[in-house]
Amino acid sequence: MELLRNIAQQPANSSNKTCEPNPQRSCEMQRKKTEDHSHAPAEMARIVTDPATGKCYCRGKVLGKGGFAKCYEMTDLSTSKVYAAKIIPHTRVSKPHQREKIDREIELHRVLHHKHIVHFYHHFEDKDNIYILLEYCSRRSLAHILKARKVLMEPEVRYYLRQIVSGLKYLHEQEILHRDLKLGNFFVSESMELKVGDFGLAAKLEPAGDRKKTICGTPNYLSPEVLNKQGHGCESDVWALGCVMYTMLLGRPPFETTNLKETYRCIREARFSLPSTLSSQARQLISSLLAKTPEDRPLLDHILRHDFFTQGFMPERLPASCCHSAPDFHVSSPAKSFFKKAAAALFGGRRDKVKYYDTLNKLTKEEEDIYKLRRDLKKTVITQQQTKQLTEDGRTPSPSAERAVAASTEGLPSTTRDTIRLIVRGSLGSCSSSSECLEDSTTGSVAETVASVLRGCLENMPKVDDIPKGTGCGNLQWVTKWVDYSNKYGFGYQLSDHIVGVLFNNGTHMSLLADKKTVHYYAELGQCSVFYTSDVPEQFVGQVTVLKYFAHYMEENLMDGGDLLSQADTHMPRLYLLQWLKSDRALMMLFNDGTFQVNFYHDHTKIILCTQKEEYMLTYINEERVSSTFRLSSLLSAGCPADLRQRMEYSLNMLLQRCN
């Protein structure tokens, strides 16, 4: 038996005899051997007996070390069940307060029962040690994983954080503070399930006035209020969660410095850096978790509703390979077979509703299936083509439009009249058909033209208190829904006429028309390939699958962003995305025909600048999702209130950031 062969592997200075295949006899032999060699250190005994039950356990390899104890593999010889045994020598807890600490840990931990908390099985002691038998997590801890990996990807961080929050929420509901949340105390099971463990510093939550003011925990993860001896609350665990998230994403704690005094200074000031390599959602969540004032940190219930989780992919499972290497998203043949069946059920033919939702859940959560999509995308990447910039469109306004401009600008300075003529004319230069996969100068020319128009309006527009009277919006196309999956695939969006588009990370673009049957594919400037979902070319199967996935996800999970409507056009889509940019306040989207949309996160207001009948129009969707559309020339003459002007100025700054 492999188990008994392992038992027989004694230290070099011990007997080389093989243990008998009878566990009870092995136990007796070891006890006799211990008596005959009483001079040997007690902690070296391989076989340990519970005096109360008579059960024998075999001590295995060291799993970890702590201040008072070491943790070993421990196997029940009667059942072969493996535990993680925390072994504390009596000599290490000889003082009353030390023993009280161990007793408190046992009393707190033994009553906890949650799938994301390390399970407490049993404890006993003999004349040498105290033994605490815990759930064995064969993948060790997140500290071991990060040591091998250096940094983790955002989907992995979502996966682990979701489980940490679940376990931590349970602890807080039991009025228990962990007080030592760190990577080394998050253990990973054989099935890659995370468990919160090590309750050596845990304590019951006390009323605000009676909270413990002892400074305890790991220095890099201490909160400002703990350092300032203001007491521990649930907010201190939330702070530590922010440190954990930061460390997983960047490979180092947020307040780590060359000396402890400086680290504590940074913690007290909540001073840390957030590199631009992180997504804006990750930066926002970390900033909220590491808020200096405890009351400003989010509640656990709110954390999983943050954009970091809702706007990004979160796998249901991770492959074991993630413990030692970055995911290559390789899936086995059975997973491929499953994915094909799931995709067929989701995207083709008639669907049973229950099976549909079951399949949809798998597609949105199952890690291996999503990884398969990414694998397909890698096979269909098209090399970025170098193309010549198109010549200017050369459109001219109609005579009636010119006369209207002349009448409305009479008496104004010549520079203002020129700006209004540019706004009315709507000349977009080379932007009539361009794509992100083209030379950057093409996209830049679109951005520069729109920025010039918007700047001209803002520089000459008077300040007023009331918003001018709006006009009809016509057949306006704008983005009603969007999903940022750029950490894997690209940026997806739905237009108001129900066309769904995806700007892939490889620079190509696909649109699924409102008929849900026709696909338009843009790989080169001005070149559009058209095919049908019933007959997808082999090289596009992966991308079409992702396109449909985006469409279904937005249809089932997202609500429209306002009240504007437009008629679906089943012919060539007029809009496809050239560029998108996210800041901590807003999302900017720039389209091929110069349509420019900015969505503001905090109040869900939106600005849409586009051309209709050779005239620039600006649509504003307010907090109540009610829209107003204005001729830009009217705004330039009549002005607009401060809140709209501020949004226009911010939009211009985002656009200028793209131009630069």
Confidence of residue 633 (pLDDT cuts 50, 70, 90): confident
State the pTM of this model.
Answer: 0.49
Annotated catalytic residue 180: yes
What tens digit of pLDDT does each residue of 359-395 get?
333 333 334 444 455 444 433 332 222 222 322 333 3
Q: Is 594 left (phi over 0), alpha (psi -120 to 50) or beta?
A: left
d(CA 77, CA 48): 10
* For the ranges 441-450, 510-519, 605-614, the one whose mean pLDDT is highest: 510-519
CA 249, 366, 168, 66 dihedral sign is negative
* 508 or 214, which is more confident: 508
What tens digit of pLDDT does each residue of 71-92 get?
999 999 999 999 999 999 998 8
What pLDDT score does 45 carry? 84
CB 347 within 8 A of CB 548: yes
pLDDT above 80: residue 15? no
What pLDDT score does 118 carry? 97
Nearest to 56 by CA among 86, 81, 78, 71: 78
Which are the contacts of 73, defined by CB distance < 8 A and separation ≥ 6? Answer: 59, 60, 61, 63, 82, 83, 84, 85, 136
Domain range 142-315, CATH architecture: Orthogonal Bundle (1.10)
Nearest to 577 by CA among 488, 486, 526, 510: 510
> Region 145-153: what's the mean pLDDT?
94
What is the DSSP code (8-state) at residue 59? E
CA 49, 50, 56, 62 dihedral sign is negative
Nearest to 299 by CA among 310, 308, 289: 289
What tens digit of pLDDT does each residue of 48-70 get?
999 999 999 999 999 988 777 89
What pLDDT score does 466 carry? 66
Which of 174-200 are b and which e, b meaning 16 or more Cβ less than 10 Å from the residue's Cβ?
Answer: eebbbbbbbbbbbbbeeebebbbbbbb
Q: Give whole-number Cα distances, 652 to 232, 553, 586, in Å.
A: 45, 31, 12
86 annotated binding-site participant: yes
Beta bridge partners of 132: 86, 123
* CATH superfamily assigned to domain 380-660: POLO box domain (3.30.1120.30)
Nearest to 562 by CA among 642, 505, 479, 500: 479
What tens digit of pLDDT does each residue of 460-475 get?
888 876 666 666 555 7
What tens digit of pLDDT does each residue of 483-505 get?
988 888 889 999 988 999 999 98
What pLDDT score does 211 carry? 57
What pLDDT score does 523 carry? 79
DSSP 18-47: PPPS-HHHHHHHHHHHHHHTTTS-GGG-SE
CB 405 within 8 A of CB 420: yes
* 34 or 258, which is more confident: 258
* 607 or 334, which is more confident: 607
What pLDDT score does 442 carry? 55
Percentage of the residues of the chain whose pLDDT score is greater than 90: 42
CB 408 within 8 A of CB 356: no
Confidence of residue 411 (pLDDT cuts 50, 70, 90): very low
pLDDT above 90: residue 303? yes
What is the DSSP code (8-state) at residue 88? E
Confidence of residue 333 (pLDDT cuts 50, 70, 90): very low
- Give the relative orientation of helices 399-408 and 414-425 as an angle to the nearest 10 degrees: 150
> Region 6-22: what's the mean pLDDT?
37
Q: Which long-range contacts (CB under 8 A, 24 or more apart) does 285-290 make?
A: 285/242, 285/245, 286/242, 286/245, 286/246, 286/254, 288/242, 289/238, 289/239, 289/241, 289/242, 289/245, 290/239, 290/242, 290/243, 290/246, 290/254
What tens digit of pLDDT does each residue of 197-245 get?
999 999 998 776 555 556 666 788 999 999 988 878 899 999 999 999 9
**Three-class DSSP labels, 340-371:** HHHHHHHHCCCCCHHHHHHHHHHHHHCHHHHH
* 131 or 346, which is more confident: 131
What tens digit of pLDDT does each residue of 522-562 get?
876 567 889 999 889 988 988 999 999 888 888 877 766 65
Confidence of residue 145 (pLDDT cuts 50, 70, 90): very high
What pLDDT score does 611 carry? 85
CB 180 within 8 A of CB 198: yes
What pLDDT score does 388 carry? 28
Domain ranges of the chain: 2-135, 142-315, 333-379, 380-660
CB 544 within 8 A of CB 533: yes
Identify the residue whose tokens are 């900017």. Answer: 588
Identify the residue whose tokens are 């930061």. Answer: 246
Percentage of the residues of the chain whose pLDDT score is greater than 70: 69
Tokens of 660: 């630069």
Phi, psi of 436 (to 5 degrees): -60, -25
pLDDT above 90: residue 165? yes
Per the prediction, the chain carries an average pLDDT of 76
Q: Which long-range contacts (CB under 8 A, 24 or more apart) does 531-540 make?
A: 533/347, 539/379, 539/380, 540/380, 540/510
Q: Spelled out in words, what is the top-level CATH class assigned to the domain 2-135?
A: alpha beta
d(CA 508, CA 435): 8
Phi, psi of 471 (to 5 degrees): -120, 175
pLDDT above 70: residue 420? no
What pLDDT score does 55 carry? 93
Beta bridge partners of 640: 463
Confidence of residue 428 (pLDDT cuts 50, 70, 90): very low
Instruction: Please identify which of the residues 180, 237, 376, 484 carries the catalytic annotation.
Output: 180
Identify the residue whose tokens are 């989010």. Answer: 298
